Structure 1
Amino acid sequence: MHHLKFTPSWLRFLIIFLLTMGVLFRFCNLDTKVFSHDETYTLLRISGYTRTEAQNKLFNGSVIGKESFAQFQGVNQKSLNDTIMTLAREDSLHPPLYYVIARLWIEIFGNSVTAIRSLSALISLLVFLCVYWLCRELFNVPLSVPGVAIALMAISPIQLVYAQEAQEYILWLVTILLSSASLLRAIRLESQVQDELAKQQQPEIFATWSIYAVTLAISLYTFLWSGFVAVAHGIYVIVTARFQLSPTVRTYLLASLVGFLAFMPWLAVVIGDFFQFLISADKTTTQSSLMPVFELLLMQLSRIFFDIDLSLENSFSYLIKIIYLIFIGYSIYLLCQTTNYKVWLFIIILIVVPVLPLRLPDLMAGSIQSSTDPYFIPSYLGIQLAVAYLLATQIYNQSVSRRNIWYAIVALVIICGLISSKVHSQSETWWNKGMSYGNPQVAQIINQATRPLLISDALGNNYGNVFSLSYLLESKVRFLLVQNQKIPKIPDRFADVFLFNPSDTWRETIEKKYNFKTDVVYSDKYYSVWKLAKPRSVRKRDILLQTKLSNR
């Protein structure tokens, strides 16, 4: 890697340009995309209210306006302690660190969509500093590989997606980078210690291992899946120590133990909820074809570098997935062929280990959940490190013809990233919005009505999606929300009445009670929206009656 220590000025300028563009894209149009189902839950947790409290207040059969949702979407009467306690009672799988930070943030900057998402955008800037440190420790070169890694992170579509989400995932990436970099530094310092220098190096080694213990605890308090990242670290330390209980292994085990002990208060809550889940969980499973599993996995890989929100069925997406699979495969192959085993082993373990507990059951069951995309963040990071090494080495290739080819590939990667970022910044919705993906289209349909009323219940995902829709609907729209599919009392003053994702039984019961006809106005794989209308004969009778009354 000696030639990588000399970075040409053009590469420096390119890195600075892409870094600038990445920062601009992160703060561009923060409020234009749909505020998704999951993001509304973030603000609910921050507010300190439980779902039950919000449900009892809003889903009570009364006609309300969109302003009624505001109480449960930000800082109001509840305290910071309420925020932590509601997470412990209702959602312990989401540790409290991000929610505590977010609550303090919106107490200063307000409850708006821009304010809460700007926190993630700001946190995402730390990724550039942290990935630089990790690459320095991993590849031991000043700028070439770290600089290319920073540039890739800056224009990576997957990084941009999570940098504009009001959730904890971008903070989790920062903690992964910090814990990984501090681990590699501690191992390097341990290996450099000589007997006569041991006393001089010991304070720095102790400080570095302490940083690892602290960053591991912070990572665990950010996202539970950090436990599997810690397992990946442990496998790496043990394998590089040749399965011997060396001083490095002993110190690592002690530092990890300290990190997990610091997490024990919340871990106890999680374990209690886990056993409660086992008792009450539905044991039924669904089976599906294996093909969508592999297609979605390939799509997730391609989204690291190019993403314009193509569907799985799009014919162009097949070509993209194959190209990027080959590209990523060659990056990993070259990494393993040309670097010390301590370098490539760390990246391979980071890619594989954290994702195995999630994907092996999917592959065995033949089904996959797209909502688990954030769990791929460690794998995304490892792949980006491998690709950064590939590009940084090949642009220094001694063969002029091969170097020119790689210049073209680098240019193509940059163009794909910039195009993806541009498309993402101008879009109303994106694939990561999941069940809220179609909400802008639904809101447009409802907003066009004269005096619209939206009816829904609180079953399943309807609760969060109604919250999400409230951000897009105009103030003229009224909501009539019920629990347990009760038959609503529909006032006569509304010209257009919509049913949001009703079950067939509930919809048919409403039809019979009010002598209404229902027509579907929107439908996707997540939910449907129906419009209630009186039969034509009934409408004619009402018109004649109104005419007679006006003549009198």
Structure 2
Amino acid sequence: MRRIVSVSLIFIGLGLCFRFAHLERHVYWYDETFTSLRSAGYTEAEIVEQFSQSSIVTIAALQTFQQPHPRRQLSDTWHSLAVEDTQHPPLYYSLSYGWMRWVGHSVFAMRLLPAIFSALTFPSVYWLCWELFVGRTRKETNQLQVTWMAVALVAVSPFHLLYAQEARQYSLWTMTTVLATASLLRAIRVNSTVSWSIYAVTLTASFYTFLFTGLMAIAHGLYLFSLATFRLSHTVVAYLVATLLAVVAFLPWLWTVATQVAQIRTVTGWTETTRSWTSLASSWASMLGRLFYDRSDTVVDRLIQSGIIVLIGVAFYHLIRQTPKPIWLLVVMITGVPILALIIPDLLLGGARSTAPRYLIPALLGIELAMAHFLASILCNRRWRWITVAILAGGLVSCLTIHQASTWWIKPHNSDNVAIAQLVNQAVSPLLISDAETADLLSLSYVLPANTPLFIRPRCYTCNQPTTKEINPFILNIPEKYTDIFLFHPRPTKEWRHSIEHLSAYTIQPLPSGGSNPSLWQLKFKAELKRPLLQKRNNTKDD
């Protein structure tokens, strides 16, 4: 037992180091800039309005919308979320509002908050496992191994590391999910007013962190009703009262959600993209494998992840066969309910909701609990203990790989920002022109010098604010002092490129910036047109 605790503490310590080391290394990407925008109390519409009629500005002007302002209050943060990002409840953003004023608004500071929440998840997982395995069976020697194993798995899970270093609410949701589930088990065991009040508070906090807490609450209810054989016992009544209190406390934001359904569907429209069943299955397999092992996407890595999926199935079979119903049923419920609630609509109606791992955090935690029980149980078997070592080592190696990278799969946009910045910074007198989405521009602003000149007409993603002026007319009248003119436009279309070339005296040449699709172009004069001032400069230089 002491050896298991010692080894687990080593992995936990390494997990903590990974969470807090080099928080600023990964690109501060599209979605994270929205966190800073909301936390600072601004809306995306304000950015579009600010720059829709402006002339040349600098990066510093963009960065204003990522920083706190004395006139921006907490109510502005709530308003920003309510009108543009209603699907995100305000708890994390409210905490971030205070954090960026008291601690700072740098990339390191903004990511430090979720890293702290991720670290606090460790003792929360310990409590959950104690309530689930130890508190119910009283077999402390054997079941404490499961408790320590679960914490170690979470500590070196590449999935949890990625969201620990992401300035978004998902590490907080992980923590509140664990706390709500642990407090439910304690309330069932103790059955006191205080214990059920604690459950109501933790469930409310989870509701105000992410809307899909509703799926976890359903899983809790099904678990409790199943244990009570669907009778209205005293415990069931207490649960219903606590859950009702949590829902009532959440009603103000729930009403906001109800009045902004159209806005939510617009912003989350990507989840309705129809994908084939084969594509969905491939995404689900990657999600499960990446929970424990996530290095790259080679054939060997896929084979390892396939083996992990088989092991997950074995772990659930072992859990159901070897533990009492009150233990295995909870794990099955918190895993199965969220998965089925997202997979079934995708299969029947079309969509990609179930391919977003962050939406399935409660289910992934359930998988880790099942795996922890299985790995702890085979430690006594010399023939099979190598599996435990391999899973923990695979997680550790994955964390090392992620730690050394500049971006990862959870940041699908802006991975080429550093390469773009290097190209722009090499120019003597650069000008960056763009009609990109505001979040792309904000992300790029973190890697360019504050005095870099810009001419931008941002496009809105979460608002209906139109771009009142196109960039094409401006390209015809670029000031002569800029020697290198760059065009920033992520995810371009052929129509967009043709319109630029057709309406201006320039051709656009893509520059290698590291991504699969170019995001940066350089404007070059067409061969038949010449620019007098440039020609004069060239002649003077030749003389």
TM-score computed with the length of structure 1 as normaliser: 0.88
**Amino acid corresponding to residue 82 of structure 2 in structure 1:** A
Structure 1 residues 139 and 527 mapped into 2: Cα distance closer, same or farther (>3 Å)? farther
Give me the whole-angstrom Cα distance separating, in 1, the residues matched to 2:313 and 2:365.
15
Describe the SS at the equivalent of 1:70.
Answer: helix
Give me the whole-angstrom Cα distance separating, in 2, the residues matched to 1:281 and 1:333.
36
What per-residue deviation string (whole Å, max 9, x for no partner) do you get for residues 162-191 of structure 1? Answer: 11111111111111111101111122234x
Instruction: Give the structure 2 partner of residue 498 of structure 1.
Output: 486
**Amino acid corresponding to residue 271 of structure 1 in structure 2:** A
Instruction: Give the structure 1 partner of residue 392 of structure 2.
Output: 414
Q: Identify which of 473, 477, 497 aligns with 1:507.
A: 497
Give me the whole-angstrom Cα distance separating, in 2, the residues matched to 1:395 and 1:126.
27
Aligned partners of 2:506 and 2:524 also within 8 Å: yes
Give me the whole-angstrom Cα distance separating, in 1, the residues matched to 2:347 and 2:275.
10
Q: In the TM superposition, what is the alpha-carbon distance from 1:422 to its structure 2 partner? A: 1.1
Moved more, 318-327 or 358-367: 358-367
Q: In the TM superposition, what is the alpha-carbon distance from 1:423 to its structure 2 partner? A: 1.3
Percent identity over the alignment is 37
Give me the whole-angstrom Cα distance separating, in 2, the residues matched to 1:277 and 1:304.
28
Instruction: Give the structure 2 partner of residue 34 of structure 1.
Output: 27
Instruction: Give the structure 2 partner of residue 178 of structure 1.
Output: 179
Structure 1 residues 276 and 537 mapped into 2: Cα distance closer, same or farther (>3 Å)? closer
Q: In the TM superposition, what is the alpha-carbon distance from 1:471 to its structure 2 partner? A: 0.7
Moved more, 166-175 or 357-366: 357-366
Give runs of aligned pairs for residues 146-545 of structure 1, distance below 5 A: 146-190=147-191, 205-274=192-261, 286-308=273-295, 310-311=296-297, 314-364=298-348, 368=352, 372-396=356-380, 403-458=381-436, 462-475=437-450, 477-482=452-457, 484=467, 485-489=470-474, 490-501=478-489, 502-521=492-511, 522=513, 528-536=519-527, 538=529, 545=536
Q: In the TM superposition, what is the alpha-carbon distance from 1:284 to its structure 2 partner? A: 12
Describe the SS at the equivalent of 1:405.
Answer: coil
Aligned partners of 1:34 and 1:439 also within 8 Å: yes
Give me the whole-angstrom Cα distance separating, in 1, the residues matched to 2:216 and 2:271.
30
Q: In the TM superposition, what is the alpha-carbon distance from 1:235 to its structure 2 partner? A: 0.9
Aligned partners of 1:83 and 1:99 also within 8 Å: yes
Instruction: Give the structure 2 partner of residue 202 of structure 1.
Output: none
**Amino acid corresponding to residue 519 of structure 2 in structure 1:** S
Q: Say whether 1:49 aligns with 2:42.
A: yes
Structure 1 residues 320 and 58 mapped into 2: Cα distance closer, same or farther (>3 Å)? farther
The number of residue pairs the alignment matches comes to 519
Give me the whole-angstrom Cα distance separating, in 1, the residues matched to 2:110 and 2:424.
26
Give me the whole-angstrom Cα distance separating, in 1, the residues matched to 2:538 and 2:481.
18
Structure 1 residues 209 and 466 mapped into 2: Cα distance closer, same or farther (>3 Å)? same
Give me the whole-angstrom Cα distance separating, in 2, the residues matched to 1:303 and 1:551.
59
Give me the whole-angstrom Cα distance separating, in 1, the residues matched to 2:88 and 2:270.
23
Give me the whole-angstrom Cα distance separating, in 2, the residues matched to 1:271 and 1:366.
23
Q: In the TM superposition, what is the alpha-carbon distance from 1:319 to its structure 2 partner? A: 0.7
Q: In the TM superposition, what is the alpha-carbon distance from 1:414 to its structure 2 partner? A: 2.0
**Amino acid corresponding to residue 371 of structure 2 in structure 1:** V
Q: Identify which of 71, 80, 92 aligns with 2:74.
A: 80
Give me the whole-angstrom Cα distance separating, in 1, the residues matched to 2:3 and 2:308.
26
Moved more, 31-40 or 291-300: 291-300
Structure 1 residues 367 and 527 mapped into 2: Cα distance closer, same or farther (>3 Å)? farther
Q: In the TM superposition, what is the alpha-carbon distance from 1:369 to its structure 2 partner? A: 5.8
Q: For structure 2, which runs of at least 5 residues remain unmatched after alignment?
A: 459-466
Structure 1 residues 386 and 278 mapped into 2: Cα distance closer, same or farther (>3 Å)? closer
Give me the whole-angstrom Cα distance separating, in 1, the residues matched to 2:409 and 2:268.
28
Moved more, 359-368 or 157-166: 359-368
Q: In the TM superposition, what is the alpha-carbon distance from 1:307 to its structure 2 partner? A: 1.0
Aligned partners of 2:51 and 2:456 also within 8 Å: yes
Q: In the TM superposition, what is the alpha-carbon distance from 1:147 to its structure 2 partner? A: 0.6
**Amino acid corresponding to residue 12 of structure 1 in structure 2:** V
Give me the whole-angstrom Cα distance separating, in 1, the residues matched to 2:269 and 2:290.
33
Moved more, 500-509 or 267-276: 500-509
TM-score computed with the length of structure 2 as normaliser: 0.89
**Amino acid corresponding to residue 517 of structure 1 in structure 2:** T
What per-residue deviation string (whole Å, max 9, x for no partner) do you get for residues 364-395 of structure 1? Answer: 35653687221121111001101110111111
Q: In the TM superposition, what is the alpha-carbon distance from 1:408 to its structure 2 partner? A: 1.5
Structure 1 residues 208 and 283 mapped into 2: Cα distance closer, same or farther (>3 Å)? closer
Structure 1 residues 525 and 410 mapped into 2: Cα distance closer, same or farther (>3 Å)? same
Structure 1 residues 363 and 410 mapped into 2: Cα distance closer, same or farther (>3 Å)? same
Give me the whole-angstrom Cα distance separating, in 2, the residues matched to 1:61 and 1:48.
22
**Amino acid corresponding to residue 41 of structure 1 in structure 2:** F
Aligned partners of 1:60 and 1:481 also within 8 Å: no
What per-residue deviation string (whole Å, max 9, x for no partner) do you get for residues 102-146 of structure 1? Answer: 111121111111111111111112111111111011111542111
Give me the whole-angstrom Cα distance separating, in 2, the residues matched to 1:410 and 1:369.
32
Q: In the TM superposition, what is the alpha-carbon distance from 1:61 to its structure 2 partner? A: 4.5
**Amino acid corresponding to residue 401 of structure 2 in structure 1:** V
Q: For structure 1, which runs of at least 5 residues remain unmatched after alignment?
A: 1-6, 191-204, 397-402
Describe the SS at the equivalent of 2:178.
Answer: helix
Structure 1 residues 351 and 371 mapped into 2: Cα distance closer, same or farther (>3 Å)? closer
Structure 1 residues 148 and 51 mapped into 2: Cα distance closer, same or farther (>3 Å)? same
